[in-house]
């Protein structure tokens, strides 16, 4: 299998603040992606720009703010965006395919598998998948809000070798360079800490949405899923290949982790936890560093309403989320045995199907 590269291009790189697509930019990026294919990679594009491409055409003076107006603009703009890409890729002898996804698609493992199989087949046939959020059906709280998160979920799903997030800034700086003249670029990031988050601000232009903050969120999801990330700028011919080869103008996020199976991707990033289990320091250590399952003895408190088989979030004594897992107890059952050593659990509940509160195989660390 050829290595897979996911490239995300933001609205700010494809459109002007007055609205409308910058055809020269679309042509340039299509050429850069074509050169990655020629270099032996399978390429997937996650592209924004539907709203920005469509709002002028539909008659709005500036980028709309109301959800229904954004959705209408996206419906017009997505067709324009796709036509532009198809023509541009055709100029390099390449066929492209439109894929529109929502967060709910990733909340279902079945739909994730279906999307994954379609993408596999497109790549096998030499087609470039061009992916955007399905703005028409995404309602406010379900929207990715920006395509950064979507690109990270896609990169994990296809087990990409690298995720390249292209934007109008040449990387992550210690502060937003538009506001702070002495901001310095961070070239390499080994771990995404609270300090890194505090450096990142919101969107820099009237067409972009997520800003650096959502790009860091995306980098966190991708690196957790075993995919290293580049956030930066690609402006001249050959820049995309340079970015891939660690010679780009931007910030690199490393990962030490191996790629995750789809079940764990779902568990960690798109499942909906129904409760919280608060654990003591010993259990935290066992889960994070010992490679162990969670036993009732380490549970301090239980919140929410859940049944065996549901997803729950696990928090430490400082109320920080440390991971998620599939719980083997109903909430009332667990309330009855929390803090108890194994012998007492069995004495109280009789033979239990599974003694572990969360089995190691059904756990993902998120700290
Ligand atoms: N610490 C930072 N380093 C670099 N850029 C930052 C930082 N904080 C905020 N930004 C802003 O993030 C913007 C890029 O995000 P955004 O406007 O959403 O672009 P896109 O449309 O490419 O997703 C930059 O133009 C910049 O002004
Ligand atoms: N799905 C939307 C994405 C919105 C957006 O602006 O995202 P981004 O430019 O990636 O911050 C669109 O195509 O307009």
Model pLDDT for residues 41-55, shown as the tens digit of each residue: 999 999 999 999 999
Measured in whole angstroms, the distance separating CA 63 from the mean position of its chain's CA atoms is 25
- Tell me how crowded residue 141 is: count the other CB atoms within 10 A of its CB: 7
pLDDT digits (tens, 9 = 90+) for 95-150: 999 999 988 899 998 999 999 999 999 999 999 999 999 998 886 655 665 799 99
pLDDT in tens, 260-313: 999 999 999 999 999 999 999 999 999 999 999 999 999 999 999 999 999 999
CB 277 within 8 A of CB 299: yes
Q: Which residues are annotated as a binding site for substrate?
A: 48, 135, 147
Query: Measured in angstroms, how far is the CA atom of residue 148 from the centroid of ligand 1?
Result: 12
Query: Where would I find the H helices in 125-238?
Result: 147-157, 194-199, 211-224
Atom of ligand 2 nearest to the CA of 73: 14
pLDDT of residue 231: 97
User: pLDDT per residue over 332-341, tens digit each?
Assistant: 999 999 999 9
Q: At residue 353, does pLDDT exceed 80?
A: no
Cα torsion 230, 209, 197, 365 to 10°: value is -70
User: Which residue lies with its CA nearest to atom 2 of ligand 2?
Assistant: 48
- Please name the residue whose Cα sits nearest to atom 6 of ligand 1: 176
d(Cα 319, Cα 296) in Å, to the nearest integer?
18
Q: For 202-253, what is each residue's pLDDT tens digit?
A: 666 655 556 788 999 999 999 999 999 999 999 999 999 999 999 999 999 9
Average pLDDT of the chain to the nearest whole number: 93
Which is nearest to 192 in space by CA: 212, 166, 164, 170?
A: 212
3-state SS, residue 4? strand
Q: What sign does the CA torsion over 337, 342, 344, 349 have?
A: positive
d(Cα 147, Cα 209) in Å, to the nearest integer?
Answer: 9
Look at ligand 1, atom 11, and give the residue with the nearest C-alpha. 204
Cα–Cα dist 84/22, whole Å: 10
Give me the helices (H) in 91-183, please.
103-107, 109-124, 147-157
Angstrom distances, CA of residue 145 to CA of 3, 10, 63, 102, 206? 29, 12, 14, 10, 15
Count the residues in the chain.
Answer: 367
Angle, helices 67-90 vs 50-58, to 10°: value is 110
Question: Whose atoms come closest to the Cα of 166: which ligand?
Answer: 1
C-beta of residue 211 within 8 angstroms of C-beta of residue 12: no
Tokens of 306: 């859940």
Q: Looking at residue 178, what is its pLDDT?
A: 87
| Ligand 2 atom closest to the CA of 12, numbered from 1 | 9
Closest Cα partner for 320 from 201, 194, 205?
194
Q: Which residue among 9, 152, 168 has the greatest number of ligand 1 atoms within 8 angstroms of its CB, and so is best to mutate?
A: 168
The pLDDT, as a whole number, for residue 197 is: 87
| Burial class of 336 by CB neighbour count within 10 A (0 to 12, 13 to 18, 19+) | middle
Terminal-residue alpha carbon distance, the chain: 32
Q: For the whole model, what pTM was predicted?
A: 0.91
The tens digit of pLDDT for each residue in 27-83 reads 999 999 999 999 999 999 999 999 999 999 999 998 888 889 999 999 999 999 999
Q: Please state the rounded mean pLDDT for residues 306-321.
A: 96
Residue 161 contacts residue 225 (beta carbons within 8 Å): no
C-beta atoms surrounding 87 within 10 Å: 14
pLDDT score for 310? 96
- Report the nearest atom of ligand 2 relative to the CA of 11: 9
Annotated binding site for ATP: 8, 167-168, 209-215
Q: Residues lining ligand 2, CB < 6 A? A: 10-12, 48-52, 74, 132-133, 135, 146-148, 208-210
* pLDDT the model gives residue 207: 57
Domains of the chain by range and CATH? Answer: 4-263 (3.40.1160.10), 272-365 (2.30.130.10)
């Amino acid at each position: 299998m050829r290595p897979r590269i996911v490239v995300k291009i933001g609205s700010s790189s494809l459109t002007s603040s007055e609205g409308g697509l910058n055809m020269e930019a679309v042509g340039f990026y299509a050429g850069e992606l074509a050169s990655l294919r020629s270099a032996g990679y399978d390429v997937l594009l996650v592209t924004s720009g539907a709203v920005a491409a469509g709002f002028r055409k539909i008659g709005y003076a500036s980028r709309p703010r109301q959800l229904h107006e954004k959705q209408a603009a996206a419906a017009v703009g997505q067709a324009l965006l796709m036509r532009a890409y198809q023509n541009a890729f055709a100029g390099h002898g390449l066929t492209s395919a439109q894929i529109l996804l929502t967060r709910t698609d990733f909340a279902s493992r079945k739909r994730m598998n279906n999307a994954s199989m379609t993408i596999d087949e497109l790549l096998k046939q030499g087609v470039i998948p061009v992916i955007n959020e399905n703005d028409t059906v995404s309602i406010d709280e379900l929207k990715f809000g920006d395509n950064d998160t979507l690109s990270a979920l896609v990169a994990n799903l296809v087990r990409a070798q690298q995720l390249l997030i292209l934007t109008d800034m040449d990387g992550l700086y210690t502060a937003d360079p538009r506001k702070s003249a002495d901001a310095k670029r961070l070239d390499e990031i080994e771990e995404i800490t609270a300090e890194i988050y505090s450096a990142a601000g919101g969107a820099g232009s009237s067409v972009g949405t997520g800003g650096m903050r959502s790009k860091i969120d995306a980098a966190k999801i991708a690196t957790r899923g075993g995919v290293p990330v580049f956030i930066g700028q690609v402006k001249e011919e050959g820049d995309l290949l340079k970015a891939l080869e660690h010679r780009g103008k931007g910030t690199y996020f490393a990962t030490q982790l191996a790629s995750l199976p789809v079940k764990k991707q779902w568990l960690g990033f798109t499942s909906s936890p129904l409760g919280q289990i608060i654990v003591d320091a010993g259990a935290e250590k066992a889960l994070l560093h010992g490679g162990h399952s969670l036993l009732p003895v380490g549970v301090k408190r239980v919140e929410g309403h859940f049944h065996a088989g549901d997803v729950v979030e696990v928090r430490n004594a400082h109320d920080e989320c440390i991971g998620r897992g599939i719980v083997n107890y109903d909430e009332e059952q667990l309330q009855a045995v929390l803090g108890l050593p194994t012998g007492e659990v069995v004495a109280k509940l009789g033979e239990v199907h599974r003694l572990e509160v969360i089995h190691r195989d059904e756990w993902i660390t998120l700290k």
